[in-house]
Amino acid sequence: MSAGAEKPKNSKTKSLIIIILSSLIALVYGISPLDVVPDAAVPVGFADDLVVAIAALLQVWRQIKNLKAPLPQSNESKDEQTTHS
């Protein structure tokens, strides 16, 4: 098996890891009392939490799109299909 055949699997694994880490970081930042802007400054204090949550959601959305993308076929797979046809 060539290294190129394992790459799509690693790409999917990488996307899942990014989804989990992005979600956890956003959750911990939102719950944490330590913020860039303290939550006591009510309208502005929650803005940084909102920005982190939106950034995490966008990152998760991008990674989900990567997971749904069809896997590229390796050259070996293409050669097998043409010889069996």
CA distance 30 to 5: 39
Token pair, residue 28, equals 């911990």
Token pair, residue 85, equals 């046809």
Residue 79 vs residue 26, higher pLDDT? 26
Instruction: Evaluate the CA torsion angle 56, 57, 63, 67 in order and state its sign.
Output: positive
pTM over 0.75: no
Each domain of the chain, given as residue ranges in start order, spans 10-70
**Rounded mean pLDDT, 10-32:** 90
Give the pLDDT band of residue 1 (cuts 50, 70, 90).
very low
| Residue owning tokens 């719950």 | 31
Q: In the chain, what is the greatest distance between 2 CA atoms, to the nearest angstrom? A: 68
Q: pLDDT tens across 22-64, in order?
A: 999 999 988 888 878 887 877 888 888 889 899 999 999 999 9
